[in-house]
Structure formats: structure tokens, C-alpha cells
């Protein structure tokens, strides 16, 4: 355990020293994966779906705020949808506009949440979202989480029904047909409900003043998601894989344990409770100390041939000095012993000490 904590402290030091480079590298990888997912699933415009466009968008978005990446991803989706069908592009644009109204109202500085939630659904691990957002965020993070889930299911629906949607006659019929099918998507609304309730449950438990609150919140969030998704799957007669539901929840719980180790490592055995008061209030304070481990410093000593010869010479001289000192000490002890015996036997011949 101590080695893990030491590793955590070293990673913190590395991040503090190179935070700007780490953030930009993570932003580039996020953009690369987002644009690749879009182009590989709904790449109806061949030029926009090329590898050069994917890399170019990822590189450009790296040097701008993450909200630019969200807008670029939205524009890329709409371009592909327009290539497939104009009604699909119009309905999708309206849905994106409504989502962004809620997004800018509640979490304008958390654009990466939408991308992460959409990618989690694309990787078939949607139930890491409640644990991740509930532990690190606030209840309003439900909004970007829901927007990300809806965005993924829009792409998923268009990918699975591209041929049927393209053959729809008339602009009005196309608009009504696509809007009706998106709104009536039972699986999408079930996942939105499970993720939203999971985020609220995890955040509620995590913010309580109980021991091991983060662990309890992680397990509770995973259990709630399994119950809601399983019940909805049976009642609505959907075809969501139960293996995906359980595996996604287990991964979410494991992620919660890792997040606790990184962001909330405390020692509950040394918990202190303090009570005091002033003129108006009584205060009950529970203080839980953090687990802090000092990072050991490594000293590297460079040994060359000359350095080794000098060290050997110094060791030899030191041994000679010790030998000489021991010889002097031995002679001094013999002399003192001889003088002591002489005085005791009356053999001291010092004329100055003789009696007259």
C-alpha cells in the first residue's frame, strides 16, 4: 500500500511539473478518439471521414478550449447526416441546439463531460459515467452526462437505419419519421434514466460524513445502475446484453476505488471529532486526516576509475592511522601501568619525592 501511495505522490509531482503538456496530450487523444468514432460510424461524406481530416481536427482542437472540440464534433456529425439526408440533419441540429441550451445553462466550463459520456457509451461501458461524475462532480453533471448519452444513441440509430432513412420520400415525412423514432427510443431513455439516477445516488452518498463514503457510493452507484437497467430491459422488452450491464457496473466500481485512492485517500483510524460553540451556534466537526507519504529521494553517485582509486587510497591511509593510534595507545597504557606498579612497590626513584 505504501508503494502505491509513493507512486501517487510521484505522479502528482510529475503532473505539477508538466501539467500543460499532459493536458494537451490528453486533449489530443480525446479529440482523435472522438473524431475517429464519428467517422467510423457515420462516415457518409468520404472526404470528411478520411484519416487526414480526423488527425487535422484533433490537432487543431488541441490548441483551443474543449468546447471548440464539442462544436467541431457536432458540425462533423451534421455534415455526415446532411450527406445522408436533409431531414435527419435538420432534426439532429434542433436536438443538439436544445441540448446545448441546457449545457450552457448548467455546466458551461465542463465540455469534456459530454465527450467522455458519449465515448463511454460507444465503448459499451456506460455505467462508469455515474461513478466518475458522481464522485468528482456535482448533481448538475447529470446534464452533460445525459447529453452525451443522447448524442451517442442518435449516431447509433442513424448508423443502424441509414438505408431506411435515406429512402424516405418528402422533407416533411423525413422530419416526422426521424423525430418520432428518436423520441420513441426506449433504450436511449432507459440509459439516460439509469445514468442520471446513478450520478445523483453516488454524489449524495459521497457527500455524506460517513466512513468509507466513496467506497459505499461506488458500490451503490453500480448496484442502482444494474437494477434500473435490468428492470427496464425486462419491462420494456429491450435487447440490452445483461453481460454488458454487469461488466460495465463492475468496471465503474473498480474505477471508483481507483479514484478514491488518487483523490480521497484518508486514514479513518485517526478520525477526530471536535465540538465547540460561539454566541450563536454549536459546532460539531469531524476531522479525518489525509494519508500523506513522503517521497524518498534517490541520490545517484557516479563512480569513475579515478574516484575509486582515491577512495581506496583514503581507506588505506585511514587504516594506517588507526593502526598507529592503537600502537601509541598500547604503549601509553604499558607506561602508565609500569609507573603505577613502581609507586605501589616503593620503587619510585625520584629524588624530589624522597623523605629527608
pLDDT in tens, 316-333: 677 777 777 677 677 776
pTM: 0.76
Q: Give dist(CA 144, CA 192) in Å, integer.
A: 11
Q: Quick check: is 326 in a domain? A: no
The whole-number pLDDT of residue 339 equals 67
156 found inside a domain: yes
Evaluate whether residue 206 is within a structural domain: yes
CA 111 to chain centre: 17
Contact 117, 87 (CB under 8 A): no
Q: Is residue 331 part of a domain?
A: no
Say how far apart CA 203 and CA 197 lie, in whole Å.
Answer: 10
pLDDT at position 216, please?
94
DSSP letter (8 states) at residue 274: E
Is residue 69 classed as helix, strand or coil in its secondary structure?
helix
Confidence (pLDDT) at 112: 85
Specify if 64 maps to a domain.
no
Tell me the per-residue pLDDT of 170-189, one tens digit each, with 9 for 90 and over: 666 766 777 777 787 888 99
In whole angstroms, what is the distance from residue 113 CA to residue 30 CA?
Answer: 11
Is there a domain that residue 99 lies in?
A: yes
Average pLDDT over residues 331-356: 59
The number of beta carbons lying within 10 Å of the beta carbon of residue 210 is 11
Check pLDDT > 50 for residue 355.
Answer: no
DSSP string, 292-341: --PPPPP------HHHHHHHHHHHHHHHHHHHHHHHHHHHHHHHHHHHHH
In angstroms, rounded to a whole number, what is the distance separating the alpha carbons of residues 284 and 274? 6
State residue 250 phi and psi, 5-degree precision: -65, -45
* pLDDT confidence bin for 356, thresholds 50/70/90: very low
Q: Is the pLDDT of residue 352 over 60?
A: no
Give domain status of residue 6, yes or no: no
- Position 124 in a domain: yes
Question: How far is 353 from 351, CA to CA, in rounded Å?
Answer: 5
pLDDT at 353: 45
On the question of pLDDT at 127 being above 50, the answer is: yes
> Which range of residues forms the domain containing residue 108?
79-268
Number of compact structural domains in the chain:
1
pLDDT of residue 346: 60
Q: What is the SS3 assignment for 279?
A: coil
Amino acid at each position: 500500500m505504501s508503494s502505491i501511495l509513493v507512486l501517487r505522490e510521484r505522479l502528482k509531482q510529475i503532473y505539477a511539473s508538466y501539467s500543460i503538456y499532459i493536458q494537451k496530450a490528453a486533449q489530443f487523444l480525446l479529440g482523435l478518439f472522438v473524431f475517429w468514432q464519428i467517422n467510423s460510424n457515420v462516415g457518409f461524406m468520404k472526404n470528411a471521414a478520411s484519416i487526414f481530416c480526423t488527425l487535422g481536427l484533433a490537432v487543431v482542437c488541441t490548441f483551443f478550449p474543449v468546447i471548440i472540440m464539442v462544436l467541431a464534433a457536432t458540425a462533423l456529425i451534421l455534415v455526415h447526416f446532411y450527406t445522408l439526408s436533409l431531414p435527419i440533419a435538420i432534426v439532429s441540429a434542433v436536438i443538439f441546439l436544445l441540448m446545448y441550451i441546457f449545457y450552457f445553462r448548467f455546466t458551461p466550463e465542463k465540455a469534456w463531460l459530454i465527450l467522455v459520456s458519449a465515448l463511454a457509451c460507444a465503448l459499451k461501458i456506460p455505467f462508469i459515467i455515474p461513478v466518475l461524475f458522481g464522485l468528482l462532480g456535482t448533481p448538475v453533471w447529470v446534464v452533460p452526462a445525459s447529453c452525451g448519452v443522447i448524442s451517442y444513441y442518435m449516431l447509433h440509430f442513424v448508423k443502424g437505419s441509414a438505408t431506411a432513412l435515406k429512402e424516405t420520400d418528402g422533407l416533411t415525412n423525413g422530419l416526422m419519421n426521424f423525430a418520432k423514432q428518436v423520441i420513441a427510443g426506449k433504450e436511449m431513455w432507459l440509459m439516460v434514466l439509469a445514468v442520471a439516477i446513478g450520478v445523483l445516488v453516488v454524489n449524495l452518498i459521497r457527500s455524506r460524513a460517513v466512513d468509507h463514503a466513496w467506497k459505499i457510493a461506488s458500490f451503490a452507484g453500480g448496484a442502482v445502475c444494474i437494477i434500473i437497467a435490468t428492470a427496464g430491459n425486462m419491462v420494456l422488452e429491450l435487447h440490452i446484453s445483461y453481460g454488458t450491464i454487469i461488466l460495465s457496473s463492475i468496471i465503474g466500481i473498480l474505477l471508483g476505488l481507483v479514484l478514491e485512492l488518487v483523490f480521497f485517500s484518508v486514514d479513518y483510524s485517526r478520525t477526530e471529532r471536535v465540538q465547540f460553540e460561539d454566541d450563536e451556534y454549536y459546532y460539531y466537526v469531524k476531522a479525518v486526516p489525509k494519508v500523506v507519504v513522503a517521497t524518498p529521494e534517490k541520490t545517484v553517485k557516479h563512480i569513475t576509475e579515478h574516484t575509486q582509486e582515491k577512495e581506496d587510497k583514503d581507506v588505506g591511509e585511514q587504516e594506517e592511522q588507526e593502526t598507529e593510534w592503537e600502537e601509541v595507545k598500547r604503549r601509553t597504557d604499558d607506561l602508565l601501568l609500569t609507573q603505577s606498579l613502581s609507586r605501589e612497590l616503593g620503587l619510585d626513584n625520584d629524588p624530589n619525592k624522597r623523605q629527608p
